[in-house]
Structures are given as C-alpha cells and as structure tokens.
Amino acid sequence: MLRDRIEGKWIDAFAHTFRLCEVQPGEIVAILSETQSRQINVHLAELALQAIGARPFHIVMPTPRLEAPVAVRSTGSSHAIQQLEPAVAALSSVTFIVDCTVEGVMHAPETPGILKSGARILYISNEHPELLERLKPDAALFPKIQRAREMLSEADEMRVTSAAGSDLTISLKGIRVGGNFGVARQPGQLATWPGGTCSSFPAPHSTNGVLVLAEGDVNLTFKRYLESPVRLVIEDDFVTRVEGDSFDGDLMRSYFEAWNDPNAYGVSHIGWGMNPAARWDSLIMYDKGDVNGTELRAYAGNFLFSTGANPSAGRHTLGHYDLPVGKCTITLDGVVAVKDGQLQGELA
C-alpha cells in the first residue's frame, strides 16, 4: 500500500495536466467528488488549480447506496450526482470540471446536459497519484491520436484477428468515434487521465465474430491477468457464449449472469491503446486498492474491447467489462493499424 501523503511532485503533475487542459488564471473550476472518493487526488486537484491561479470550488456528493447485485468497478457510470438539480446547475455554470468521483461520470445520465452547456470535464481516474505522476499527458501524442480517430471515422469496417483465434468484424457505419487524449481542452469535451486511446461506440447490429482472451490478457473489472483462455462468441452485438472450462471462464460467466440484464452482454466501446508510456505489466505492481486499471486500457497496441453501456446503441447498464487484449492485428478496410499488438505506420 502506497502512502497517501501530499507530495510537491504530485502537485506539479496535476498542474501540468491542468495547463494542458488550458485552464486559465482566474478560471472558475468545479471539483466534483463524493464521500468515497480518493481524498488525496481531491486535495491535489485543489492545490494544483490554485498554483496556476484558477479559482476552484468543491461539490461533494454522498456516495449513493449500492443498488447493484454485485460489486461495481470501473464503469464510467457514476450515479454520484443523483439527478440533484442544484448540483447539475452548478456544474453547468462553469467551463472546467475536475471529476474525482470513484467511477467517473462518462456514462452518467447528467453528463450530456453538462457537456452541452459548454463545460469540459477531466476525469481523474481513481488511481494512486504515483501512477498519475508516471503517466502525465504528453502533448506529442495528441496528433497521433487525432490521426487514429480520422482513420476510424473514414473506414467502413474493422477486423480484429489474433494467433490465439480471434476473428471479429465490426461495421463502422454510424459509429460514434472518440479518443481519449488525457486532457479536455474544447468546450463539451470529456477526457480521462491517464489517457492515450482511440475508441468508439459501434452502432446497433455491427459486431460479430469471436474474441479470444489469452493467457496474460486482462480483465480490468477484476483487476486480474487471465491465466487461461476464454473465448467470447459475439452475435449481432451481444456476447452469446463465454467458453472456457477454467476459473477465469467461471468468473466471467458468474459476473455476467449476476446482472440479470441482457444489456450487460452488449458491446460497449471498441478501439486500441496508443500510449507508449502505459505498460501492460504495471497491474502486477500495485495493490488493488491503489489502482483503477486505466493505464492498461491505454497501453500501446492493445485491442480494447468492452461490454456494457453503449449510448450509440441506446443500451444502459452498470454491468461492464473492460478487456485489453494483446497481440492482435487490427485492420481498417484492409489497412493495418495494429499488427500483432504493435502500432503501425504514422500511429507508431
């Protein structure tokens, strides 16, 4: 367990990130947190904002009652705001929001309206600040992420294959293209720190095939490396079979089934990691309470496959898996973007 002590270097890391978000001296900034938030990150956000001359204030929500049948981890679907109109009004009145909620408000029901007001939101992932320090946003990565977004927007089909047996086809028509730069600079933009991904929400009736999670791939909901293969059969956007006579297969089936919700089996976002500073092996170095797993979403060359909420398809659920899969080849209309887990061409 790492110590929760304010360090000057961590204030510097937060200030660096806020400057890349183009936070200005005198800008009024809301820090959104909840009673179960990682308090050291809330404090660091306040100190760093003050250090660059911004004017922060806090909105602290009581962490809501757990209504899910199982533990909820790393969903991006925080219910912390709880449709409380004065809180929504306050968040909609500022130009920059630091999101320190436990799960993040990416898929929260209040978020579209807040972003529509012109606010930009940076979710500071629920990580220990040591990890955030190591993965400060790098402006040199932004043009590559932008190019990856353009490639995704221009293509009609993505195909994902691997030596482990994956063969997945995703129609990109009508896709909602995103990409996490790790900073939020434009009005209406939401980003997560750590960042460095190109991702998207496929439209309905887009995804079919097989995805094989091999030994060493990661189930971030469990914060666990797989020790044996699990084969996901995906038909018309939904996981219809979870194959694998193993502990890993049993865990995935059990968590899926616990939701008793068909949408938990649906395809959420897909994409790939682009951050060369993020490491596949880092999860083994941290206690589970010190890490949220966002780094492994971003490690360069992984195919990021997720199940659960998909606003493009009108599916909403707290049931969620984030599954960074290594050593895949990703093609866009036959053009190779990632080969055997390595970024190619101008993305490398």
Is residue 127 included in any domain, yes or no? yes
pLDDT of residue 3: 81
Is 183 a domain residue? no
Domain boundary among 82, 106, 134: 134
Task: Say how far apart CA 345 and CA 348 lie, in whole Å.
Answer: 6
Tokens read off for 156: 């009609």
Is residue 102 domain-shared with residue 67, that is, in the same domain? Answer: yes
CATH number at residue 84: 3.40.50.2300
pLDDT (0 to 100) of residue 108: 86
Residues 269 and 305 in one domain: yes
- Gap between the Cα atoms of 15 and 46, Å rounded: 10
**What pLDDT does 292 receive?**
93
Query: Residue 18 and residue 15: Cα distance in Å, rounded?
Result: 5
Single pTM value for the model = 0.94
Structure tokens given for 270: 């897909």
Q: Same domain, yes or no, for 82 and 149?
A: no
Provide the 10 A C-beta neighbour count for residue 210.
19
Residue where the block lists tokens 């093609």: 331
pLDDT of residue 1: 60
Same domain, 169 and 316: yes
DSSP-derived secondary structure for 34-87: ETTS-HHHHHHHHHHHHHTT-EEEEEEEPPPPP-SSS---S-S---TTTT-HHH
Place of tokens 């009673």: 35
As a whole number of angstroms, the distance between CA 164 and CA 161 comes to 8
The predicted pLDDT at position 74 comes to 74
Cα–Cα distance measured from residue 89 to residue 79, given in angstroms and rounded to the nearest whole number = 16
Q: Are 227 and 248 in contact (CB under 8 A)?
A: yes
State the total domains in the chain.
2
Residue with tokens 């929500």: 61
Q: Which domain holds residue 305?
A: 139-178+195-347
Q: What is the mean pLDDT of each run of 10 residues along the chain (348 residues)?
A: 88 98 98 97 98 98 91 81 96 98 90 96 97 97 96 97 98 90 96 95 96 97 96 98 97 96 96 97 94 96 95 88 97 98 96
Domain shared by 301 and 322, yes or no: yes
Dump the DSSP string for 251-295.
HHHHHHHHH--GGGGBEEEEEEE-BTTS-GGGGGGS-GGG--SHH
Residues 124 and 153 grouped into a single domain: no
82 assigned to some structural domain: yes
Query: Does 162 share its domain with 300?
Result: yes
Tell me if 187 is assigned to some domain. no
The verdict on residue 3 lying in a domain is no
Answer whether residue 20 is part of any domain. Answer: yes
Tell me the C-alpha distance between 182 and 196, whole Å: 6
Q: Is residue 281 part of a domain?
A: yes
Note whether 288 and 331 are same-domain residues. yes
In terms of domains, do 93 and 151 share one? Answer: no
- Does any domain span residue 225? yes
Do 45 and 110 lie in one domain? The reply is: yes
Residues near 212 by beta carbon (within 8 Å), at least 6 away in sequence: 162, 164, 165, 166, 229, 230, 231, 232
- Calculate Rg over the CA atoms of the chain: 19
Residues 114 and 163 in one domain: no
Residue 123 and residue 160 in one domain: no
Buried b (16+ CB within 10 A) or exposed e, 241-254: ebebeeebbebbee
List phi, psi (to 5°) of 45: -60, -45
Between the two ends of the chain, the Cα-to-Cα distance in Å is 35
Which whole-number Å values give the CA distances from 26 to 56, 115, 117, 189, in the listed order? 9, 21, 20, 20
Per DSSP, what are the bridge partners of residue 162? 328
Bridge partners of 197?
Answer: 180, 273
DSSP-derived letter for residue 220 is T
Query: DSSP secondary-structure letter at 15?
Result: H
